[in-house]
């Protein structure tokens, strides 16, 4: 499946279970690996029900650190448990693109989506998120990975 063309979709808010941290960029893989196990355990213990694939929600554009939540959509809100908290993915208008391939190419796909947003006369929000449609495994071909990129948008206001 090749990379998709950008589009705008309207989403409903989604209840999630997350762990939020400010993480140095070179420590992201370690943060992801440690967080998803704790999240799955907390959601399972509370019978909150995983309702979709894992995601990472970035509260701002990363610099040398990323302020992000990693988590899962859930059937119902979780109670706080260790680092796990209830949160949500926002509803509204979102520019979307499905990235095909390894995580190494995500930056280029985000740039492509950002450029497209500008050419459509839209204003990107500060926050954005990735949904990991394919679960990575050590023995898989990275070309098989699919990551959905989501960036809230609004119409640009133009001076008259």
Q: Where are the domains of the chain?
A: 7-155
pTM of the model: 0.92
What is the spatial distance between Cα 100 and Cα 115, in angstroms, rounded to a whole number?
18
Work out the mean pLDDT of the chain and round it to a whole number.
93
For residue 79, name the pLDDT band (cuts at 50, 70, 90). Answer: very high
- Indicate if the pLDDT at residue 87 is higher than 60: yes
How far is it, in rounded angstroms, from Cα 69 to Cα 57? 5
Name which of 151, 32, 37, 19 is nearest 85 in CA terms. 19
Give the count of alpha carbons within 13 A of 41, CB side only: 10
Closest CA to 105 of 55, 42, 147, 151: 147
* Burial state string for 55-68 with b = 16 or more CB within 10 A and e = fewer than 16: bbbbeeeeeeebbb
Q: Mean pLDDT, to the nearest integer, of 86-108?
A: 95
CA dist 115 and 71 (Å) reads 27
SS3 73: strand
Beta bridge partners of residue 87, listed in sequence order: 16
Q: Note the CATH architecture for domain 7-155.
A: Alpha-Beta Barrel (3.20)
The pLDDT assigned to 155 comes to 82
Helix (H, G, I), strand (E, B) or coil at 111: helix
């Amino acid at each position: 499946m090749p990379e998709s063309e950008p589009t705008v979709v309207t989403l409903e808010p989604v209840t999630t279970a997350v762990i939020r941290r400010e993480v140095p960029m070179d420590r992201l893989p370690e943060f992801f690996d440690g967080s998803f196990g704790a999240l799955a355990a907390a959601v399972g213990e509370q019978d909150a029900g995983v309702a979709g694939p894992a995601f990472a929600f970035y509260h701002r554009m990363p610099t040398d650190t990323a302020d992000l939540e990693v988590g899962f959509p859930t059937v119902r809100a979780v109670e706080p448990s260790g680092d796990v908290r209830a949160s949500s993915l926002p509803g509204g208008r979102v520019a979307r693109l499905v990235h095909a391939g390894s995580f190494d190419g995500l930056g280029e796909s985000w740039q492509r989506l950002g450029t497209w947003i500008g050419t459509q006369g839209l204003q990107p929000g500060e926050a954005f998120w990735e949904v990991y449609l394919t679960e990575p495994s050590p023995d898989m071909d990275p070309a098989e990975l699919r990551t959905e990129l989501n960036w809230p948008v609004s119409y640009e206001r133009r001076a008259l």
